[in-house]
Structure 1
């Protein structure tokens, strides 16, 4: 954990991935992040994957380094406390991330009444307020219908919540942009970030909106090929599969040399009258079946370990297909030996390597990685230090069931 955002106080009232990942990124850069949940946990408190004791690995992964407050959000007084925490005074406070509805008790107008310069970043499904989640946005944007084998007509979903994760990262960027503007102008911001807009912006940025408008139709599926360049999975002699990518001319020439297939490629060039070693990756994609046939025959003669050494020698871009378990336990580049990981004790009661910030800042040392809190572990601390409530008032709130300490259930 770094201290680059030390001094900022960000309050989170959010569930699932996009909002919590935004504030997790900020916490790992040094911001104080206070998350409030319903007593007993919100809708993501037991989300899978879970440990054998039922504790959520997801929840403790998304909430590393945060403080936790447990409130009875079904009560008026509990909701008032949530608003008070989000709008509490301080030059580097008044920063709120949420995915609650636009017009609910955490509406921007309600927050602005309490603090005029509040910055509220609201993750949404659709811009009109209609509900959506990563899988439904993914279905709507068309990606599952251009993913998968070219002879398959149904959608192909994927297990990575890409739009959630991209939205969370973009939300952190948008929040820092709003903070920078408030420091100059003194004004707050009502920032709205729909998953659907993030998805379509990504398709636009990568040329895919223009592509279908110009062509009048959809891109054809291409299986495991890398669209627009030469890239495909290949089977080695030992039954392992590797992914090869030759995006640039240099990468292609290195691959041809590594596999010693220069004569075969030259024969194809003679037949087609086309040079495949230039900078135009599209040419290699258009002729991928013939080229990959040559590559596949050569690769089938190699065991994956020996082939990997040869490919590395020639600086070929490649990767071995492996399971998540193999990546975590056997590949020293991924977890074991990777400095972004550190073993920590977690609320589930388990100790395992968890990821800190993905970015490194030169010689700036990484601080100790902080685990997620027990639900409600910081309730009394936040009520006393942020809201300045006296001890007897905090006791009254406990007695009334408005707040709870760590581990309390509804």
Structure 2
């Protein structure tokens, strides 16, 4: 595991030490687990917020066990991907003492994020109304499957369920077979982005009004949005989107072609791009000017014959030849890559998308950066995802002023879990 990391990826380049952080001074108490909630709070952490992740003692976030799990880290790649720049505090929320500690943390927080099943936070006495009594201007974000109220509030949901129920799966794949889900958790990721946007908007609103508020983001609601403009097209026509494989129902030629050495995708989004493709790239100015190919609908009606012409031409030369010509002509194109090829590509290296960062156990660990570039408040330097409860003692000492005796009393009362005698870092003092 990770044997070639030093050869494959450059060391992360630190931000300017004097640069401010976009969310400096914002504290988040994060009860979320799996992907949608944690990815949202990771974005906030990358922007400079202090994120305190509350986890169950010992077990922690269930995402820790998603494969591949590194034997030394005791958690897997998905957890590493979505939990950097956080502090982990392990507390048993089934114990009154553990809940009491959490309430103290909420009292000094700006944001609470949770994505438990509906009713769980109420049972802990940590619902929005309870938290608002602790901190009147708290911003409280709930990420749920189908909302926190109404007939479907009790339903559990994961990314693939949202994909199928929203209609998203029905749109993807080939016409002669069943629709296919996206393997990437696109609904979780986009829901996380929505939740982060909502929290940022609420922070701006609080700055102006002094008022906190409750926020709700639903996986299903977001999944319907992720079907794109297909929903509006359906409302205009009454027709459901049909599966088109790698071609486009709206533009032509758009799809996968085979060069002499590999596959690539082109997307002719308008008539001018098509004309440049045919005249400057393929050398068929006659077809660029042909009336039968003049408009998008014309080309869609003749897709098969047009694809055959292009397929024959592209097979004559390698991808490097066609890429150079299409880039010069302004024709959008891209090589069909594996994930491994993509993260090692010249484009990814140029943008610094994947780097390596220090890790206490492994020496180095990979890091996939956010696609955000601030000129004045750069994203914070990444710190690897924490072990369960790694920061319990530090957070309770530094934020709440607990001393060793109080930590020992909490441990004895079971606040840190029945099998935990004291927080992990307590042994260091």
Q: TM-score, normalised by structure 1?
A: 0.88
SS at match of 1:228: coil
Residues in 2 aligned to 1:314 and 1:10: alpha-carbon distance in whole angstroms: 48
Residue equivalent to 2:28: 10
- Does residue 389 of the first structure (1) align with residue 396 of the second (2)? no
Residue equivalent to 1:177: 201
Alpha-carbon offset, residue 363 of structure 1: 6.3
Residue equivalent to 2:274: 252
Residues in 2 aligned to 1:171 and 1:282: alpha-carbon distance in whole angstroms: 39
Q: 1:112 aligns with which of 125, 128, 132?
A: 132
- Does residue 326 of the first structure (1) align with residue 351 of the second (2)? no
Alignment of 1:56-205 (within 5 A): 56-85=76-105, 87-89=106-108, 93-104=109-120, 105=124, 106-127=126-147, 128-129=152-153, 130-152=155-177, 154-203=178-227
Q: Number of aligned residue pairs: give it.
A: 390
Alpha-carbon offset, residue 13 of structure 1: 0.5
- Structure 2: where are the runs of 5+ without partners? 1-14, 417-421
CA contact (8 A) 2:26 2:110 kept: no
Residue equivalent to 2:385: 372
Alpha-carbon offset, residue 350 of structure 1: 5.8
- Does residue 210 of the first structure (1) align with residue 232 of the second (2)? yes
Alpha-carbon offset, residue 140 of structure 1: 0.2
CA contact (8 A) 1:13 1:97 kept: yes
Q: TM-score, normalised by structure 2?
A: 0.84
CA contact (8 A) 2:173 2:244 kept: yes
Alpha-carbon offset, residue 282 of structure 1: 4.8
Residues in 1 aligned to 2:78 and 2:22: alpha-carbon distance in whole angstroms: 26
- Measured on the aligned residues, the alpha-carbon RMSD in Å equals 2.3
- Structure 1: where are the runs of 5+ without partners? none
Alpha-carbon offset, residue 292 of structure 1: 1.8
Residues in 2 aligned to 1:61 and 1:26: alpha-carbon distance in whole angstroms: 14
Residues in 2 aligned to 1:347 and 1:215: alpha-carbon distance in whole angstroms: 58
Alignment of 1:22-61 (within 5 A): 22-40=40-58, 41-51=60-70, 55-61=75-81
CA contact (8 A) 1:347 1:374 kept: no
Alpha-carbon offset, residue 69 of structure 1: 0.4
Alpha-carbon offset, residue 347 of structure 1: 6.8
